[in-house]
Amino acid sequence: MEKIKETSEFLTAKMKNQPQIGIILGSGLGGLVQHLEIEKEISYATIPNFPLSTVQGHHGALIFGKMNGVDVIVCSGRFHYYEGYTMQEVTFPIQVMKELGINKLIISNAAGGMNPTFKVGDIMLIKDHINLFGVNPLLGPNDNTKGVRFLDMSEAYSKKMLKIAYKCAEEFDIHVQTGVYVGVTGPCFETPAEYRMFAILGGDAVGMSTVPETIVARHRGIEVFGLSVITDLGITGQVEKVSHEEVLQAANIAGPKMVKLVYEMLPKL
């Protein structure tokens, strides 16, 4: 907790306004930054105790600013378990953002779709998740002043925030899907058999992030809204070869719709 305190004190000294909402940008979804009134941008490399993103498409900066009149903190670039970080390192930005005062978190990601009604470029609003990382960021001693030992996850993703998202999507004619996100370690893309298994388990899309951040956010009392851009398909009979470059390309094409949805949601949250 000393590292969290040191980092939050370092960042507090650089803040102009009290942030209300944290946003984590996933692969290829950096276009959101273009709609920010940036007040301060800080490279991860200069923030005490912060990990560094090693993934193409993740730029690595913490940004304070306003979006549609709302004070936000944006993580432009996230950390993944497959990069070799511990779960505590992956979720470190969530802990810090909580200390800086946020009470709501928006998480975006790129994901492969298993639902046969999904198409590449769809936006899926996450209603629930399945943790197949094989590990949990809350393992180990629990600080009861920060959150409970046994965390209730019956509403991992805020129903209230989902309802606002549906209304905004309808108002601005943004087509959205809804589904269950399966979180896996990566970095391999899934085999056809794995896609089938995830679908049988009840998953609609699969990705390599989001679940650890959501768990820690809920542990700290932060409401979470998650959304995935479907960048490739793992539907039975439609599984094709996929590369990270193709994922980024699909995410960049779909990104403007996600940006518009989040932008319009913010004042209503």
Checking if the pLDDT of 175 tops 70, the result is yes
Q: How far apart are CA 230 and CA 111, in angstroms?
A: 5
How confident is the model over 106-125, as pLDDT tens digits?
999 989 999 999 988 899 99
Checking if the pLDDT of 243 tops 60, the result is yes
Checking if the pLDDT of 86 tops 90, the result is yes
Q: What is the mean pLDDT of the chain?
A: 91
Confidence of residue 59 (pLDDT cuts 50, 70, 90): low
Checking if the pLDDT of 58 tops 60, the result is no
Checking if the pLDDT of 97 tops 60, the result is yes
Checking if the pLDDT of 249 tops 80, the result is no
Confidence of residue 240 (pLDDT cuts 50, 70, 90): low
Residue 103 has what pLDDT? 97
Q: For domain 2-268, which architecture applies?
A: 3-Layer(aba) Sandwich (3.40)
- Report which residue type is found at 204: D
Token readout for 188 is 């391999």
Q: How far apart are CA 16 and CA 267, in angstroms?
A: 19
Residue 251 has what pLDDT? 74
Signed CA dihedral, 176, 180, 186, 191: sign only: negative
Q: How far apart are CA 143 and CA 147, in angstroms?
A: 7
pLDDT > 90: what percent of the chain?
Answer: 76
Please list, residue by residue across 227-258, b when 16 or more beta carbons sit within 10 angstroms of its beta carbon and e when fewer do: bbbbbbbbbeeebeebebeebbebbbebbebb
How confident is the model over 201-213, as pLDDT tens digits?
999 999 999 999 9
Higher per-residue confidence, 60 vs 40: 40
Ranges 47-56, 144-153, 157-166: which has the least confidence: 47-56
Confidence of residue 78 (pLDDT cuts 50, 70, 90): confident
Q: Read off the pLDDT of each residue in 207-233 and give the average, rounded to a whole number.
A: 96
Residue 53 has what pLDDT? 66
